[in-house]
Structure 1
Amino acid sequence: MDAARRAAQGVVTARAERRALADVITAPAEVVINLYRSAQVTPRIAAQVIARHARLGDSVTTGQPLVTLSSVEMAEAQGQLLVADREWKRVRKLGRKVVSERRYIEAQVTRQQAWARVLAYGMTRAQIKALLAEGDASRATGSFDLISPQDGTVISDNFIVGELAEPGTVLFEISDESVLWVEAKLNPEDAGRVAIGAPARIKAGDGGWLQGKVVQRHHRLDETTRTQAIRIEVDNRDDRLHPGQFVEAAIQSGKAAPVVAVPTGAVVLFQGSPTVFKVEGDELHPQPVETGVTRAGYTEIKAGLAEGEEIVVKGAFLIKSLLLKSQMGEGHAH
């Protein structure tokens, strides 16, 4: 079977390589949000919700207004800032030669304190500058926007327009889901064999596997199951994983020396022996091999195949069936 016929039949070949087939621990796991890439949006003072600008599932960017609030405390603070700013501008214009040193410093400090107060209450610097640019006391309405502190997705927005939100009430939760955590629960003995930085694979809901790495190990055991959680960081830019989803984790433990290994699907049982199909020119020949461990989709070849030899890695069962038919006089495999 030449290269053109192999390609037409979907047969793929590759050269045997050396790989480190370390022990793999499999365990059930759960996808959770990456707390280091998440933030809560809360009011710092009691305020009424006036308008919503984002909803559950929306993608938001840093600085984007999420909700408009109104507060009596903020109105008072805004009014004091406008008065203090006007006084400071007047004193500064007159200069130190006209006004006393005491009045000059008091006006400056009062303005700074008023600025700090509205900033602490929840207004941004841009909102404060816009308020002062207008300089109109009637603009001290107590209205202000809470903005997104980061890029991400709205994963929670538990409030309604018109409600009175107390300080610390979580109005929004924003999370960057491009990198998620997967927490696998292992018995303490297995967890102790897993190193920080160890590679891991996560089986997604679509049946495919995602690559990840161990980033942390919990130091407290689960009080109910007596298991120890291992935290795996996974690149989720394709949005294949979602917080709360149950998955399977395969975590590498320990180290292993590289061995000759081939994709597990390249090895078939032929005439009672594990066999691969070697490429020799335009022909494929069965080659009995001695196999070792199988890890993460690869099987160790202890004997019968050398590094660099080309074999069928996809379509081995097809070649096997063609060869069996050939032996029965019904066709030819080469």
Structure 2
Amino acid sequence: MRLHPMMRFPTLPLVLAMTVALGACNKDTDPAEAAAAPTTVAEPVEVASAALKLNPAAAQAAGIKLETVRPSSLSEQLRAPGEVLDSSYNTTLITPRVESLIVRRHARLGDEVRAGAPLVTLASVAVSDAQADLRIAEQEYRRMAALGPEAVAGRRIMEARVALDRARAKAQAYGLPGTATGTVNGQFTLSAPHAGRITEDSFVVGERVEPGKPLYRLVEESTVWVDARLPAGIVARIESGRPATVVFNGQRIPGTVLLSAHRTSDTTRNTSIRVEVPNKGDTLHGGDFVEVFFDAGSNASVDN
């Protein structure tokens, strides 16, 4: 059975039809007209630029803050545990200078006292002797001075003067005033050398105490110390005089670095750094545990 040629290639009529149609489309456009047609080029569009200006109120509402660019140094904040201590420069131990018997208490634990306020009255045989010697020496010198060099040799007057000075020095060594009080009962009163708070009270009335036994601990608490502990290798980066921040019960208190201990603990291998802190409002007390933040400086500098 022989097939007709057109049936062997069924797609051939379709291809011929498409070719004719494309040729007709190309003939519709004259090449000369296409060359003469002007070419349209998109011109650049100028956009007006305007500087953004904010008044101070708008800048504040947006949280914008302007600062002058300055060179600054790199720093790192270090954190360390610390303990509050009473400043030794503002602390005084109230002690008798001679063996005594406690007669009366004038201040109690926790009291705030003014400078010169009486704290405790004591009695002593040695003080009674000193009071008597001072009284006699004063009377003898006044008698010699009243007679004058016309009636008494100058040596006698000088001896009376020396005896008076010796009696005064002995009385002052016991904590007595340098003048006779008119009594020789041996009682004397220890007074506060400065204003402060009584933080320790370790005696009872009627107790016999030895010279140097602390009866009171008087602390002026306007300034306290904080000892912070850091590894020995870091301490060298914290210089004396640099600021520090003490945090206690959520309150941040500024302070100043005084010095480092220059000694490493045998057990913890840490070194202590002492910070002086103003104690406004009587916030800090000896024995309180706090956190201390230091700004450890770096030798590097950067231009922001």
- Residue equivalent to 2:292: 249
Letter in 1 for 2:137: A
Preserved CA contact (<8 Å) 1:25 1:190: no
What SS does structure 2 have at the residue aligned with 1:22?
A: strand
Identity %: 38
Query: Given the alignment of the two structures, is residue 149 of structure 1 paired with residue 193 of structure 2, yes or no?
Result: yes
Q: Distance in 1 between matches of 2:245 and 2:303?
A: 20
Where structure 1 has 5 or more consecutive residues not aligned to the other structure, the ranges are 261-334
1:212 aligned to 233, 240, 255, which one? Answer: 255
Give 1:162-311 correspondences, 5 Å limit. Answer: 162-205=206-249, 207-255=250-298
- Residue equivalent to 1:48: 101
Name the TM-score, length of structure 1 as normaliser: 0.68
Q: Deviations over 1:60-79 (max 9, x none)?
A: 22222111111000001101
Preserved CA contact (<8 Å) 2:74 2:297: no
Q: Deviations over 1:254-274 (max 9, x none)?
A: 1475887xxxxxxxxxxxxxx
1:220 to 1:92, Cα distance in 2 relative to 1, 3 A: same
Q: Deviations over 1:29-57 (max 9, x none)?
A: 10111111111111110011111111111
Shift of 1:223: 2.1
Q: Distance in 2 between matches of 1:85 and 1:165?
A: 30
Letter in 2 for 1:184: A
Q: Distance in 2 between matches of 1:224 and 1:99?
A: 74
- Residue equivalent to 2:155: 102
What SS does structure 2 have at the residue aligned with 1:185?
A: strand
Q: Distance in 1 between matches of 2:158 and 2:217?
A: 42
Bigger strand fraction? 1
What SS does structure 2 have at the residue aligned with 1:49?
A: strand
Structure 1: 4+ residue segments shifted above 2 A = 11-22, 255-260
1:72 aligned to 125, 145, 152, which one? Answer: 125
1:95 to 1:250, Cα distance in 2 relative to 1, 3 A: same
Preserved CA contact (<8 Å) 2:73 2:297: no
Shift of 1:20: 6.4
**92-101 or 227-236, which moves further after superposition?**
92-101
1:105 to 1:179, Cα distance in 2 relative to 1, 3 A: same
1:118 aligned to 171, 181, 202, which one? Answer: 171
Q: Deviations over 1:175-228 (max 9, x none)?
A: 1111100000010011111100111101012x1110011011102222221110
Letter in 1 for 2:194: Q
Q: Distance in 2 between matches of 1:238 and 1:124?
A: 36
Where structure 2 has 5 or more consecutive residues not aligned to the other structure, the ranges are 1-55
Letter in 2 for 1:114: A
Preserved CA contact (<8 Å) 1:28 1:249: yes
Letter in 1 for 2:150: K
Q: Distance in 1 between matches of 2:236 and 2:218?
A: 34
What SS does structure 2 have at the residue aligned with 1:78?
A: helix
What SS does structure 2 have at the residue aligned with 1:215?
A: strand
What SS does structure 1 have at the residue aligned with 2:132?
A: helix
